[in-house]
Amino acid sequence: MAFYVEGSNLIIDACSEKCILKKFEKLRRKFKLEFAGASKTCTKGIRIDNSFIVQKEAESWDGNHHDFGVTVKREEVVKSNAVLSKIRYLNHCNLLKIKDICQCCVELEYIDGYILNTKKGSWIMGERAYEKDYLDICSPHQFINLTRKILDVIILLHQNGICHTDVMDHNIMIRKSDNVPVLIDLIGAMPHREELEKLDKRVFLEHVVADACNRLNISISDKIKMLIDNHGNYDLILLNDYLKELEDSLDG
């Protein structure tokens, strides 16, 4: 265990002399414990100043129980830091910044913002289930514009040999200060495989685009419906074109 909370005290158990937690030892009284996403093993992170530190753990999936029938074994990939190290040096305003990595933790930028969609059970969202989210306050135009920006991030990841594997609407945050959308939950990202690329496409299109359009009463085009029916066998550039057409139709 890298850190835990005992009463009002943050207890740090550094993994090594190079552990990223060591640089926060003098600031440990300034920490704030916050929700860090759904997981059987790690649901909290610590905020210290503008950093958010989470334990370096990611859940694996069995294709027999996964919604899309895809098995994802993350243990060795997470342990090696291979994918996280790649992501750390990708520079994109809509991709969560990784500041540092060690064997036990990942230091991320802290995002003060809305989750795109929180209207889900507590088993997914913890204490943030059903709280005010971005879909409660955005316009249809703002949402479509947001999806195109996140789509650009997915393309960047794929071009760099990385699949996110969980591009869900609760893994997109929107900064309150400037309304910039940010793709989060990067610890479980995997090396690129065709099956995982299709998974990214299916999850993004069905659980981000289609679900939110339904909630916002946006009628999606027959072209987008056709892509949904293709189960991930489509080009993301094509989806971007169709989303631009949808965005233009909202302007009109």
Which domains can be identified in the chain, with CATH numbers? 3-251 (1.10.510.10)
Length of the chain: 252
Q: Count CB atoms within 10 A of the CB of residue 86.
A: 16
Tens digit of pLDDT for each residue in 25-71? 877 777 888 888 765 555 789 998 899 999 998 889 898 888 888 99
Segments of the chain scoring below 70 in pLDDT: 1, 38-42, 252
Task: Kindly report the pTM of this predicted structure.
Answer: 0.94
Look at residue 42 in the predicted model and tell me its pLDDT: 54
Instruction: Give the helix ranges, DSSP H, for the chain.
Output: 75-80, 82-88, 122-125, 140-159, 194-203, 211-215, 222-229, 236-251
Beta pairing partners, 11 = 4
Q: Is 48 left (phi over 0), alpha (psi -120 to 50) or beta?
A: beta
